[in-house]
Amino acid sequence: MKSSSRDLPIINERIRFQKVRVIDTEGNQLGIFATKDAITLAEKEGLDLVVLSDKSDPPVCRILDYGKYKFLQEKRAREAKKKQHTSTIKEVKMRYKIEEHDYNVRINQASKFLQAGDKVKATINFKGREIQHTDLAIELLLKMSQDLKHCSEIQQSPSRDGRNVIMILSPKK
pLDDT at 142: 94
What's the rounded Cα separation, in Å, for the pair 167 and 160?
A: 9
Domain assignment of residue 135, yes or no: yes
Domain assignment of residue 1, yes or no: no
Domain assignment of residue 151, yes or no: yes
Residue numbers of the domain that contains 110: 89-171
C-beta separation of 103 from 133 below 8 A: no
| Pair 74, 96 in one domain | no
User: What does each of the 173 residues of the chain score in pLDDT, given as a tens digit?
Assistant: 455 555 667 788 888 888 999 998 888 999 999 989 989 988 998 998 888 888 888 889 999 988 898 898 899 999 888 887 777 899 999 999 999 999 999 999 999 999 988 999 999 999 999 899 899 999 999 999 999 999 999 999 999 989 999 999 999 87
What's the rounded Cα separation, in Å, for the pair 43 and 46?
A: 5
| H or E stretch covering 17 | none
Total domains, the chain: 2
Closest CA relative to residue 5, chosen from 70, 52, 14: 14
| Pair 35, 65 in one domain | yes
Q: Among the three residues 82, 110, 129, which one is the final residue of a domain in this structure?
A: 82
pLDDT at 55: 86
